[in-house]
Amino acid sequence: MKFVLLVKSNPVTEAGGEGPAGLGEAMARYNAELAAAGLLLDAVGIYPSGEGGVRLRGIGTDTVTRIDGPFDEPGQIVAGYTVSDVRNRDEAVEWAKRMPRIAMPGDPCEIEIRQLY
């Protein structure tokens, strides 16, 4: 079963910060573990919404509105994602719990887990 782990933004990621010291190395190890287990399909970080983020509203209607970032709602914006092919939702949850912390101490980190078609 394929799942995407959607890592939500926080003030650190939206500011373009690197996060806690060693985060890059920790994420590389995490992704290497997923790959070694034969589960990793894709993983990527996404630039902050202020660096090229665009929203289009009204697709499929006569009035399409373009909204350029930055956006005001950290915690609702996706900062990165990991796609894995695991046995079930519980395994996806367990891998999500192992993801390195992307926020600074005191900032929440939220990951949404969604099954792919």
pTM: 0.86
**What pLDDT was estimated at residue 104?**
60
Q: Is the peptide bond before 105 cis (omega within 30 degrees of 0)?
A: no
Over the stretch 6-55, which tens digit does the pLDDT of each residue have?
998 888 788 876 667 777 888 899 999 999 999 999 999 899 999 989 99
Q: How far is CA 11 from CA 23, 66, 72, 87, 88, in A?
A: 16, 24, 10, 33, 32
Whole-angstrom Cα distance, residue 14 to residue 19?
11
> Could you give the domains of the chain?
2-115 (3.30.70.1060)
pLDDT in tens, 51-102: 989 999 999 999 999 999 999 887 889 989 999 999 999 999 999 999 887 6
